[in-house]
Amino acid sequence: MTAASAAARKPRLLEGGPIASEIRAMVRGDVAAFQERYGYVPGLAVVIVGRDAPSTVYLQQILRSCRTVGVEGRLVEIEGEVSPGRLRRQLMELNEDPLISGVIVQMPLPPGIPLATVLDTLDPRKDIDGIHPRNAGLMTLGYEGFLPTTAQAAVEILKRSGIEIAGRRAVVIGRSNVVGKPAAILLLRENATVTVCHTRTRDLEREVKRAEILLVAAGHPGLIRGDMLRRGVVVVDVGINVVEGRLVGDVDFESASRVASAITPVPGGVGPVTNALLLTHVMRAAWDQAATESGGAALPRAALEPVPSGPGPS
């Protein structure tokens, strides 16, 4: 293969950094407008109840992003023996704190702490990562609510990169409530034809081979290889895994790059967009809560995407 043909085969790199910078610039102006009107800056509480390496890295990145736009980031570490009751009390305190507009809780939770502890306690108005049943239900029905940010980022990076979604065959690998399921719903809202694969899928390679857009959120490093892909596929790798001290995705980037027309890197792809979108959720929550407290209507905000007023077309 000549150098020219090798270069021609290189896929388009869907980097999240430039997209995240655009979003943060918008948020920075929003924070300034909010502070001028209400006299304080919105706050985001990041609750850590364990020390899982990949998610700890992600949460630290969120706190850094807060500093860049002027949002008050607060790290809330629950140390020692953590019980459901102790976590519940901490979340109730944050629910009542008027300076905290949004709350995210590190996932996965430690053994012995059921997810219901968070779902039953967290105020859905501060649930900026869209895990509360109210927000999940609104998303499923096509109404406005807080979207799970990583799933939203995976679709947003496609839209902002000019990747056509409507009418294309999209395959989602992973069915978690945090990424896989919501990503499938959001792709459906963009009029893709969506297949969801998981651990019980028979002949995963056959399903993957059909994908024109492949979104991988399985949590298994190197699960998808280049020989499993159809030529020209667009690959969105949501996986964050630590292997020998390095962050890697669920897709074997080197082999997939020889086949894909476009692909997100790990790190540097979906992650930065996730962090930036989360800040937009903080500001939306802040405006709504402040307006409610002052007895007025929420101020108009710049929207990243239109949200349907009701269920979409069949």
Pick from 260, 259, 261, 237: which is nearest to 250 by CA? Answer: 237
Confirm if 264 and 16 have CB atoms less than 8 A apart.
yes
Predicted local confidence at residue 144, as pLDDT: 84
Which tens digits make up the pLDDT trace of 249-298? Answer: 999 999 999 999 999 999 999 999 999 999 999 999 999 999 988 765 54
Q: Does any domain span residue 212? A: yes
Same domain, 159 and 259: yes
- Same domain assignment for residues 160 and 195: yes
Within a domain: 286: no
User: 70 or 296, which is more confident?
Assistant: 70
Q: Is residue 219 part of a domain?
A: yes
Out of 254, 269, 284, pick the residue that ends a domain: 269
Please spell the DSSP secondary structure of 185-236, one letter per residue.
HHHHHTT-EEEEE-TT-SSHHHHHHT-SEEEE--S-TT-B-GGGSPTT-EEE
In a domain? residue 19 = no
- Do 240 and 160 belong together in one domain? yes
Which domain range does residue 127 map to? 38-132
Do 162 and 126 fall into the same domain? no
Q: Residue 117 domain-assigned?
A: yes
> Based on the domain organization, do 126 and 236 belong to the same domain?
no
**Structural domain count, the chain:** 2
Which residues have CB under 8 Å from 266's CB, separation 6+? 237, 239, 240, 247, 248, 249, 251, 253
139 Cβ neighbours under 8 A, 6+ residues apart: 130, 145, 147, 148, 182, 185, 186
- The per-residue pLDDT for range 77-98, each reduced to its tens digit, is 988 788 999 999 999 999 999 9
| pLDDT one-digit tens code per residue, 205-263 | 999 999 999 999 999 999 999 999 999 999 999 998 989 989 899 999 999 999 999 99
CATH at residue 174: 3.40.50.720
Average pLDDT of the chain to the nearest whole number: 90
* pLDDT tens profile 122-133: 999 999 999 999
189 & 153 share domain: yes
pLDDT, tens digit, 9 for 90 and up, residues 11-64: 999 999 999 999 999 999 999 999 999 999 999 999 998 665 556 677 888 999
pLDDT at position 27, please?
Answer: 98
Among 84, 106, 132, the domain-final residue is: 132
User: Where residue 105 sits, what CATH number does that domain have?
Assistant: 3.40.50.10860
**Shared domain check, 265 and 152:** yes
State mean pLDDT over 167-194.
Answer: 97
